[in-house]
Amino acid sequence: MEFISLDYYDVLFALFLILIPIGISFKVRLGIEKEILIGTVRTFIQLMIIGYILKYIFDLKTWYFILLMVLIMAVVAGYNAVKRQKRKIPGLFSIVTISIFLGSGIAMITLIALILKVEPWYKPQYLIPVSGMMLASAMNGAALAIDRLMGETKNRRWEIEAALALGASPFKSINPLLREAARAAMMPTINAMMIVGIVQLPGMMSGQIIGGVEPVQSVRYQIVIMYMLTTSVTISCISVLFLFYRKLFTKDEQLDLDVL
């Protein structure tokens, strides 16, 4: 394996180039100089911090610290998914975090233990990037699923109430909307499988190639990752919808209009 390493002077040079978008924004009055600047600084700080954390963890080689890191990532993912919701719904955070953990967990165990057969299983070089990818997709899926279910419920409130009024259970009455939400939340990941490699090369694959990995080898990695991402999204969507829909109903099996 061979790759070209970067030092801080290289980073500094790239930083100079950021002056171009700032200059353009100023010149044609886009008014987003401040955002570009903040983004530039945040990129630097956030990635530097995560770089050092990763370095620290890679050196640790104790399984519980590495697992703790994955747990923290899951909780942050759960928090991020909930943060997007305008309404505060009690218990939503744990529902989302559990679902994200379930979806990404199953995909991760399959990948690490059954496909890659990493030894030892907690080897951070594999576990951390893989869990990052799986958690992010599970997080997006869960957030999208909840968004969509809330929106559909608002729009199709009468269908739900009509079913309830005929004596249907809450689950039965909201079932078509749950399916709709699951489909909508899974679609981006499925579409990604459709176009992968045609429009763009996935980041992980590009990274491996730059790192000196032979293209066919890195493609195999990417294929496996894509399948696991789809699994992760599907499980977390279904789980979050199944746990969440109850929150839209009162204990008397009424649609809770205050939650919407």
Partner 1 sequence: MKITIQNVWKTKSIEADNGKLRELKLLSDINIEFCGSCIQAILGPSGSGKTTLLRLINKLDSPDKGHILIDDVPINSIPPRQLRKDIGMVFQVPALFRGTIFNNLSFGPILYKKEFNTEQAKRLLKIVGLNDIDLSRDIDSLSVGQQQRISFARSLANEPRVLLLDEPTSALDPSAANNLLDLIKKINKEMGVSIILVSHIMEHAQRIADFICLLVEGRIVENGTASSFFKQPQTGIAQKFIRGEL
Which of positions 145-174 make contact with partner 1 (CB under 8 A)?
158-159, 161-169, 172
Q: Is 184 in the site for partner 1 (CB under 8 A)?
A: no
Which of 191, 254 has the CB closer to partner 1? 254
Helix (H) or strand (E) holding 54: helix 33-60
Cβ atoms of residues 118 and 95 within 8 Å: no
CB of 169 to partner 1, least distance (A): 7
Cα torsion 115, 116, 120, 121: sign: negative
CB of 251 to partner 1, least distance (A): 9
CB of 146 to partner 1, least distance (A): 22
Which of 35, 253 has the CB closer to partner 1? 253
Among 73, 92, 111, 255, binds partner 1 (CB under 8 A): 255
Q: Look-up: residue for tokens 């490699």?
A: 197
- How far apart, in whole angstroms, are the C-alpha atoms of residue 42 and residue 39? 5
Which of positions 235-254 make contact with partner 1 (CB under 8 A)?
250, 252-254
Tell which residue, 178, 164, 159, 148, has the closest CA to residue 242: 178
CB of 190 to partner 1, least distance (A): 22
CB of 173 to partner 1, least distance (A): 10
Size of the site for partner 1 (CB under 8 A): 18
Q: Is 225 exposed, middle or buried (0-12, 13-18, 19+ CB in 10 A)?
A: buried
Cβ atoms of residues 100 and 81 within 8 Å: yes
Q: Is 236 exposed, middle or buried (0-12, 13-18, 19+ CB in 10 A)?
A: buried
Where do contacts with partner 1 occur on this chain (CB under 8 A)? 158-159, 161-169, 172, 176, 250, 252-255
